[in-house]
């Protein structure tokens, strides 16, 4: 087996995706296509960490406008 369980004996074009340019460089512990629910959760966690970093500088309403979310979603992130 090769990296991340891809067999080395199969001619698999490593085209990557929007997460990484190549599958072997992907930071995810799973393939987004194999586990879409976990990928969605990972995306949300990444988004939330960026928003959390902005929280001291902006109001909830400003954060909601900046990230295209509702004020209630911003409140849930806290």
Q: At what angle do helices 60-67 and 36-54 cross, to 10 degrees?
A: 130
- The total of structural domains in the chain comes to 2
Q: Are 44 and 74 in a shared domain?
A: yes
CB 27 within 8 A of CB 20: yes
pTM of the model: 0.69
Residues 40 and 25 occupy one common structural domain? no
User: Per-residue pLDDT averaged across 4-18, rounded?
Assistant: 71
- Please check whether residues 51 and 29 belong to one and the same domain: no
* Structural domain range at position 17: 1-34
Confidence of residue 5 (pLDDT cuts 50, 70, 90): low
Both 71 and 42 in one domain: the answer is yes
Token pair 């004020």: residue:
71
pLDDT band at 4; cut points 50, 70, 90: low
């Amino acid at each position: 087996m090769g990296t991340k369980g891809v067999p080395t004996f199969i001619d698999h074009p490593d085209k990557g995706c929007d997460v990484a340019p190549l599958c072997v460089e992907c930071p995810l512990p799973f393939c987004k296509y194999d586990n879409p629910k976990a990928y969605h959760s990972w995306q949300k966690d990444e988004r939330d960490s960026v928003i959390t970093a902005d929280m001291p500088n902006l109001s909830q309403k400003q954060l909601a406008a900046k990230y295209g979310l509702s004020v209630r979603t911003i409140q849930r992130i806290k």
